[in-house]
Amino acid sequence: MPHISLNPATGKVEREFPSWDGDQLDAALEAAHVAETNWRRASFAQRGEVLTRVAERLLANRDDYATLITREMGKLRREAHAEVEKSALACDYYALHAADFLEDEVIETDAARSYVSYQPLGIVLAVMPWNFPFWQVFRAAAPALMAGNVVVLKHSSNVPGCALAIEEIFRSAGLPPYVFTTLMIDAGQVARVIADPRVCAVTFTGSEPAGRMVAMEAGRYLKKCVLELGGSDPFIVLRDADLNDASTQAVNARFLNNGQSCIAAKRFILVPEIADEFVRLFRQKVAALRLGDPMKNSCQIGPMARLDLRDELHRQVTDAIVQGAQPLLGCEPVEGEGAYYLPSILDRVMPKARAYHEELFGPVAVVIRARSEQDALDIANATRFGLGASLWSRDAGHAEKLSRRIEAGCCFINGMVKSDPRLPFGGVKASGFGRELSYHGIREFVNIKTVWVK
């Protein structure tokens, strides 16, 4: 089955790439296995020089890469620019800090000398999604490569151009051949790669069902894995919040990347004192969003990545309305070419609706009205997910205390949830396990070895 580059703004196929057969896959894994022996012996300085050149190439060609991202998955071109720049930031960050993060840690014991060393594992399989086709790859690959591992990438089949472009960036920056390799394989071949004895670990970002399958295969073969899965992030507005600021940030938090982000605000949980006014401001600002061609700077909402994703989103919306939710805005697909869906708000969503419990991956905001502050916290935690959360209040100290009661991998006070190379990123519950970014992320795929000398 070919990998198809289809422009979601037009519905037209731009390019097709053939999938590899078993022999091509085996040859690539063997080449990566051979390359790993030398790469693990490279110094941090040598690895860092390569990653620094990767960052330089990303920035020098950001216009071309942003255009590629937009054409393959529909992201606004200015947001694609920011994604490329953030990818360069991750490369620079690990090039600068990896040696310190993985420096031997001396521990005083009864030995003459004892310490903990951090050594590479080998080949890491990265199974990555389409919604941030550059950032997701670089945030996983940069620390893994700086730690001395080799990376093989199975990217989403609808962004093959991005996958091959990333491989070319590494090669042109001087990374030795096969230290980073894009595998042009189908999803059905992932289990075979995990099972291969040359592969030591797997990092996966994507849906909860796919993540469960990856975890099952990794467990079967005793391979280390890190999973970043779905989210249903609460956006909790307290009675003393700055409603103008909170409603403005709510638009960004929900509709960034056309609403297709694991850490987008998904559930807007409002206490009674401010609910009506927040909804009024939020609706006014969402209604002003301009939908159109994502290549144009005037556009604020582009298409969803695929028609099948849009169809599933509309089924969730329709179910919520049947179950009593009020469609305040949008809640309909756009007729004509492209996978467009109107920026939408569902108010008074109730627990019996799918939208109350499931992740809505698209430009639809779910408003849930709480009875009290305590009820808002209970609603926030009444989900199988636990990726991110945000709290909005003029009393930051009080909100910070409440944040400790939120079951999530991160909690932001008076700011939208975002990832940052300096901070660990990941979730709890059905949002996955393990961490990316910061020093926590680079230590996920190393052998934490104790050395004891008498």
Inter-axis angle of helices 44-60 and 62-73, nearest 10: 70
Every domain of the chain with CATH number 3.40.309.10 lies at 233-413
Residue 96's CB: how many other CB atoms inside 10 A? 13
Residues in the chain: 454
* Token duo for residue 362: 């698209």
* Token duo for residue 62: 């950001």
Cα gap 177→269, rounded to integer Å: 50
444 three-state secondary structure:
coil
The pLDDT of residue 29 is 98
Under CATH, what is the fold of the domain 233-413? Aldehyde Dehydrogenase; Chain A, domain 2 (3.40.309)
Give the neighbor-by-neighbor strand order of the sheet with 364-369.
326-329, 344-347, 364-369, 265-270, 233-237, 388-392, 410-413
Q: What is the mean pLDDT of residues 435-452?
A: 98
Q: What is the mean pLDDT of residues 414-427?
A: 97
Asked if 98 and 55 count as a contact pair (C-beta separation under 8 A), the reply is: no
pLDDT digits over 119-141, tens only? 999 999 999 999 999 999 999 99
pLDDT at 72 over 90: yes
When the pLDDT of each residue in the chain is averaged and rounded to a whole number, the result is 98
pLDDT digits over 3-44, tens only? 999 999 999 999 999 999 999 999 999 999 999 999 999 999
The pLDDT of residue 303 is 98
pLDDT digits over 178-210, tens only? 999 999 999 999 999 999 999 999 999 999 999
Residues sharing a CB contact under 8 Å with residue 404, sequence separation 6 or more, in sequence order: none
pLDDT digits over 139-181, tens only? 999 999 999 999 999 999 999 999 999 999 999 999 999 999 9
pLDDT digits over 240-262, tens only? 999 999 999 999 999 999 999 99
The pLDDT of residue 41 is 98
Q: What is the mean pLDDT of residues 100-106?
A: 98
pLDDT digits over 345-401, tens only? 999 999 999 999 999 999 999 999 999 999 999 999 999 999 999 999 999 999 999
pLDDT at 2 over 90: no
Every domain of the chain with CATH number 3.40.605.10 lies at 3-229+429-453
Task: List active site positions.
Answer: 228, 262
The pLDDT of residue 77 is 98
pTM score of the predicted model: 0.97
Could you give the percent of the chain with pLDDT greater than 90?
100
Tell me which DSSP letter residue 189 carries.
G
406-414's contacts with Cβ under 8 Å and 24+ in sequence apart are 406/234, 406/377, 406/380, 406/381, 407/380, 407/381, 408/233, 409/435, 412/388, 414/242, 414/245, 414/246, 414/390
pLDDT at 1 over 80: no
Under CATH, what is the fold of the domain 3-229+429-453? Aldehyde Dehydrogenase; Chain A, domain 1 (3.40.605)
Tell me which DSSP letter residue 124 carries.
E
